[in-house]
Structure formats: C-alpha cells, structure tokens
Chain A
Amino acid sequence: MIQVSSPFTHNNNSVRKVMLNVQLAALPALFTHIYFFGFGITIQWTLALITLLVVETIMLKLRNRPIWPYLTDFSGLITVTGLVFCIPPEAPWWVIVSGITFAIIFGKHLYGGLGYNPFNPAMLGFAFLLISFPYEMTQWTLPTQVSGYYLSFIDSFYLIFSGQIHSVPLDQITGATPLDEVKTALSTGVTVPTSLMSDSFNAFRIPYGWAAVNIAFFIGGTWMLISRSIRWQYPVGFLLTMIILSAAFNWFDPETYAPVRFHLLTGGLMLAAFFIITDPVSSSTTPMGRFIYASGIAVLVYIIRNWGAFPEGIAFAVLIMNMFVPIIDQYTQPRVVGYRK
C-alpha cells in the first residue's frame, strides 16, 4: 500500500478527526461503565461538557482569541473523557465542574492554549480533585454485583445534585475501590491473596465492573491503534513495563504484591494506556522518547500503587513524567542523516 493519508499537515480538521475517533473508541467503555456502575457517568459527562463549553468560551474571550475555531477543534473533549472516567460516578455535581474548570484554566489556557500545555490537563484536574476533595473522591459507587443495588437514572440524578437518596442506604452502595481495599487490607496485615477472595472480586479473582471497563478500554484502544489515531509506543511501552514489574514483584512475594491481572484490570490503567498518556502535546515527540515516557509512567504508577500514600497513582505519574519530557526529548533526538552524533 502506497497510499498514505496526510498525517503531516496539522490543520484543524485532522485534530478534529482524531478527537472524534478518540470519543468513538471510548464508547464501549462508556456502555460497560453504565452497565456496571449505573447512569451516573452520563450525567457527569453532560455536566463536564457544559462546563467545558462555558469555561473555554470565557477563557478564549479573555484572551482575545476567536472562539468558534478553537471550540470546534474538539480538543477539550479528551480532557472531558479523561476526567469523567476517573471520578466516582455519583460524586456531587461541583466535583466534576470544578475539576474541568481547573483543568481548562490552569492546565490549558494559562499556558497559552492547546499545544503549549506542558501538563496533561485531564490529569491536572484529577490531581486537583484528589487533593482538594479527598472525601468525595473516595466514595465510589459499587458495582451492582457487589452492592446488590442498581441505581436508576433518577437515583443517580438525585445523588449527584442533592447528595441524598432515600430509596437505598448510601453506605451500602458506595465503598472503597478494589485498589484501595487491597491496599488498606495490606496495612492491617491481610495478605493480597486473601483480599482477592473478598466480595469485590469474581471467580477469576478480578474485580467486578472494573475489569470489564478496563477490557472495554483495551478494545477501544486497540481500534485506535489500528486506525492510527494513537502511536503504538505509548500503550506498548506502558503495558509492557507494567506487566514486567507486577510479574516480577508478584513472583518475588505473592503475599504482598498483587498479580499482573489485578494491576492491569483495576483503576484507570487501560484508560491511561490508550487515552491519557497518548496526548501528543504533553508527551515526548520522538519515537524512542514516547516509549521511555510511557514506561516511566508505568514505573511511577507501580511505585505509587504499592508504596505511595494514594491507592491509584496514574495522575501523579503522568504529571511527573510530563516534567521530564524536555529532557527525554533532548536525549532521544534521532540522528539526522549524514551527521554523526
């Protein structure tokens, strides 16, 4: 095949096409999420989208930039997708609103808009939420299979906007995420294999809901890979490093270190692998650099998950590696033909 599409021209259209592809690829995960965790995420998505439009418009106006062309490059959508999947589906409405606002203002426009932001806006917004509202961010809706309740759209709506619900007991439908559960159990001396036997895990010892959403992300991500919407170095470098690390530690001490399947199928791992670390603006620009960047994030995620203060480390790992991008770029610059290094 000689026919090559035009990845070399970077106009509004190509950005838009890639962004739409990303949205399409996230659909399987969205449906899976709705199946396991209820309709909360659709409300969060709508809230996020409205906030995005309002904040973008205000910021573009303040910066004297044309509004329509910037708004329709859809680049903000990836921030919405990245953040919406990270917050608890029934989190109060102001959580996602303030998260998106922070991400767009401090993560994007203060640095000069799309293309100039050194940090991934979605992860900046997520980190902001994690340290600002730790209580709200730990209240995850449990999958139906665990709690025995399925929240209707109306239930979710009430929970998000009023924080109260009368039809079901609140403390039975929310709880710790599997990552949190295993980590807390470890601190009280409960071994990982024992934790994996708890109600949150199914017969395969993978967490209800979480595993399915991660697999859906993997499927959508693979499609993006095949359709060349993302570069292969990101997911391959990230997942490979994660697998090697978790396999090695699990082999070394299975009582303390969770198996590979646990690490791959919990938290936001697949979301990160295909939708977050693939952001071309805040990551390395060289092929080798992308690989190093991705595996660096995996190393940091593994470190934070096992030895850090937070159960999930993707936001911090991405932000830390964002800071290393200039150095990585400098040392991985491909040799220009005819020149010696």
Chain B
Amino acid sequence: MTQLNQTNLRFSLSAKLSQYRQIARNGVWENNQALVALLGLCPLLAVTNNTVNGLGLGLATMTVLLTSNLLVSLVRNHVASEIRIPVFVAIIASAVTAIDLWMEAYLYTLHGILGIFIPLIVTNCAILGRAEAFASKNPVDQSLVDAFFVGLGFLLVLVILGSFRELMGSGTLFAQMDLLFGEAAKSLKLSMPDDFHPILMAILPPGAFIGLGLLVALKNMFEQRKSELNRQPLDITEVSADIKPISAS
C-alpha cells in the first residue's frame, strides 16, 4: 500500500486528473449506484414523491458518503482486515446519526418529512459498499472524489425521479424548496396550467417503481445508442481490406 502511494505521487497532474475523471464517470454514470447497481432503493423509492425530498435525502446521503469515505480511507492502513467491517459500520453509523441530529436542528420540517429515512441511510448498501470496495483500498483524495461523484450520481437519480413524480402527480415542480433553502426559495415553485389533471399514481408507491424502471430503461437506451455509434467505425475498418484490424496486444 505505501509503495503504491509513492508511485502515485510520481504521477503527473494530468494523469491524476484523468484518473479523477475516470472515477467521476464511474460514479455518476457507468456504475451509478441507483440505476446500475440498484442499491439504496428503499429510501430512493420511498421519499422521491417530490423534488425537495429527493434533494434533501440526496444531500444527506452524499454527506454521509464523503465522511465515511474520508475516514475509512484515512484509517485503512491501521485497521486489521478482521475488524474492518465493524470499524466501517461504527464510522458510518456515527456519521449518519450526526447528520440526523444536525438536520433536526437546522432543517426541522424537512427532517420531519424525511423521517425514518435519514437514520436509515445507515442501511444504504451503497455507503458500506463504497467504503469496502473503494475507500479501504485507495488514498484519501481519490476516495473523496469517489464519494462525491457516487453521491452525485445517487442524488441526481433522486432529484430526477422526484421531479418527474412531482410534476406528474402533483402538477408542480420545486414546490416547498423553502424547506431546504429558506423563505426565498418559495418563488422557485413552478405549476402546471390549471387544466392539467395530476396523475396521483405518480406520487404513490407504484409511481416510484414505474418511474425508476423508466429511468433505468432510459439509461440503457443511451448506452445502446452509444455502443451502436462506437461499433460503426470499427465495422468500416473490418470491411476495408487495406487497413488491418488492430489486434489486442
């Protein structure tokens, strides 16, 4: 591990940046915890009946991820592998409880709405998953970048799903943003025209499942399009006789 660190230091800045970019890509898109790994679905499905709930839970989860990845990465060389899981759990549980208390103090109403799902962040597999799979094996800077982008990926899904469901089920967008950003954010609220008939199912549990299913399908569709686009130039090289296909070396 220490050896690896020293080689890391020798990397140039651009190499570092490309490494970060890879981590970011992975966290937000390729290995999105909600859409690809399908982790943390219980809170995801339960709270996303509007944007502000999704954003609130997303930010809380991200904060927990940052804290736990940071601490796990810091102590990774001092903890014997036999006790690493209990140590991770202690770190995560402390972080979650602290954020729960903090939200109760400064975002009282939102805390009341999100209720049990804030303490339940502790059971979000994505967090222990990142601690075990990434932070316990990588240096602090990379672990923080990973936490940020994995958290962002989760947060984006929460917000998109929340906005979609709020728009369909309540006919509004960004309502009650004041719960998170204070009175000034009240003006953020957008409403559908009066003759819009909200589809209540969207804010009920079935709407969560259908909405998430649609998001996963949408992501798969993008992937498919992309892989089709990537394949085309390859096909051309194969067809033309002059250029030999590049063989794996």
Binding site for B on A (CB under 8 A): 92, 94, 98, 106, 128, 131-134, 136
Give every chain A residue within 8 A of B85 (Cβ-Cβ): none
Give every chain A residue within 8 A of B204 (Cβ-Cβ): 131
Chain B residue nearest in CB terms to A134: B200
Q: How many A-B contacts are there with CB distance less than 8 Å?
A: 18
Contact A128 B197 (CB under 8 A): no
Cβ contacts A to B, 18 pairs, < 8 Å: A92-B197, A94-B197, A98-B199, A106-B210, A128-B201, A131-B200, A131-B201, A131-B204, A131-B206, A132-B199, A132-B200, A132-B201, A132-B202, A133-B197, A133-B199, A133-B200, A134-B200, A136-B197
Give every chain A residue within 8 A of B197 (Cβ-Cβ): 92, 94, 133, 136
Nearest-Cβ distance from residue A160 to partner chain B, whole angstroms: 14
Binding site for A on B (CB under 8 A): 197, 199-202, 204, 206, 210
Interface of B is mostly: helix
Give every chain B residue within 8 A of A94 (Cβ-Cβ): 197
Give every chain B residue within 8 A of A133 (Cβ-Cβ): 197, 199-200
Chain B residue nearest in CB terms to A163: B195
Q: Shortest 6 CB-CB distances between A and B: which pairs? A: A132-B201, A132-B199, A132-B200, A131-B201, A128-B201, A131-B204
Give every chain B residue within 8 A of A128 (Cβ-Cβ): 201
Give every chain A residue within 8 A of B200 (Cβ-Cβ): 131-134
Give every chain A residue within 8 A of B201 (Cβ-Cβ): 128, 131-132
Give every chain A residue within 8 A of B210 (Cβ-Cβ): 106
**Sample of 5 further A-B pairs with CB below 8 A, known A132-B201, A133-B199, A134-B200:** A131-B201, A131-B206, A132-B202, A133-B197, A133-B200
Report the separation of the CA atoms of residues A98 and B206 in the bound assembly, to the nearest whole angstrom: 16
Chain A residue nearest in CB terms to B202: A132
Report the separation of the CA atoms of residues A134 and B197 in the bound assembly, to the nearest whole angstrom: 12
Chain B residue nearest in CB terms to A136: B197
Nearest-Cβ distance from residue B24 to partner chain A, whole angstroms: 32
Q: Which of A92, A131, A134 has the most CB of B within 10 A?
A: A131
